[in-house]
Amino acid sequence: MTIITLTTDFGLADGYVGVMKGVIAARAPGARLIDLSHAIAPQDVRGAAALLHRAIPYFPAGTIHLAVIDPGVGSTRHPIIVTTPDAIFVGPDNGLFSAALAQGGAQTWRLDRPQFWLPQVSATFHGRDIFAPVAAHLANGVPAAELGSPLPHPVRLPPPPEPELKPDGRLSGRITHADHFGNLISDIPAAWVADGRWACRIGGEQIVGLSRSYADAPPGQLLMLISSDGFLEIAVRDGSARTRADLDVGAALELIPLR
């Protein structure tokens, strides 16, 4: 049973996602549908790309990831398939699949064969009219090479700024993600701070050392720990670091080595 994951900025109120599922289920009744998120901020291609990148390793090989964050829908941007040794991606050519494209063995196909789409294609909802039926065909075993033509230069997002180990021994990075709990996840890899001998000044407070779990700090206190994806995370036990420190995605973070 092939899995198709769905990631959009459509929200769940309007029935858009349900309609895409109807289109898929009508064509690939055996495919299993799993929602990743439909609460991507409108047009936040980069945020969706990062969410996909975090999620993919937990799905079986051959999973089809359908993602529609598509501000250019109906324009000249291409609809594409990206195949990697592990997974297949379907969506707009706007950088959503940059992480997959950076992998060895990635291939991109431009969807240019309307016989595999809905008979009528709107200019505003390719999720329903192109991507959902194409995902269904993929789930049914139709190869990407039959659904499109090779696209040599797919769009890639400019790489984000890299975290830095500075000459004076400090680390600098950025908040890349704030989750539902208000946990602030950074781009500083766990390995850089694994010795725990670091302090961080944030929102007028100082966090010293690394906690192992949320429960290691008293309720309400800011702490640093390793996120579930292996990066430095700022959190508050039973609370929101985002609110507490008044910080959000993109904010700079500096860590000072403890002597």
Position 114: which residue type?
Answer: P
Residue 172: partners with Cβ closer than 8 Å, 6 or more residues away: 163, 164, 166, 252, 253, 254, 255
- Which of 170, 190 has the CB closer to a second copy? 190
Stretch that binds a second copy, among 66-74, 100-108, 161-169, 250-258 (CB under 8 A): 66-74
CA atoms within a 13 Å half-sphere pointing along the CA-CB vector of 157: 17
DSSP reduced 3-state for 229: coil
- Does 73 bind a second copy (CB under 8 A)? Our answer is yes
Q: Which helix (H) or strand (E) holds 233?
A: strand 231-236
- Does 196 bind a second copy (CB under 8 A)? Our answer is no
Site for a second copy in 140-179 (CB under 8 A): 177, 179
- Which of 12, 258 has the CB closer to a second copy? 12
Size of the site for a second copy (CB under 8 A): 69
Q: How many CB atoms lie within 10 A of CB 39?
A: 13
Site for a second copy in 210-249 (CB under 8 A): 212-216, 225-230, 233, 237-238
- Which of 128, 137, 242, 244 is the binder for a second copy (CB under 8 A)? 128
- Does 77 bind a second copy (CB under 8 A)? Our answer is yes
Q: Which helix (H) or strand (E) holds 178?
A: strand 171-178
- Which of 180, 259 has the CB closer to a second copy? 180
Residue 174: partners with Cβ closer than 8 Å, 6 or more residues away: 160, 161, 163, 186, 187, 250, 251, 252, 253
Q: Give residues in contact with a second copy (CB under 8 A).
A: 1, 3, 5, 7, 9-19, 21-23, 25-26, 29, 32-40, 42-43, 51, 54-55, 58-60, 63, 71-75, 77, 122-125, 128-129, 177, 179-181, 212-216, 225-230, 233, 237-238
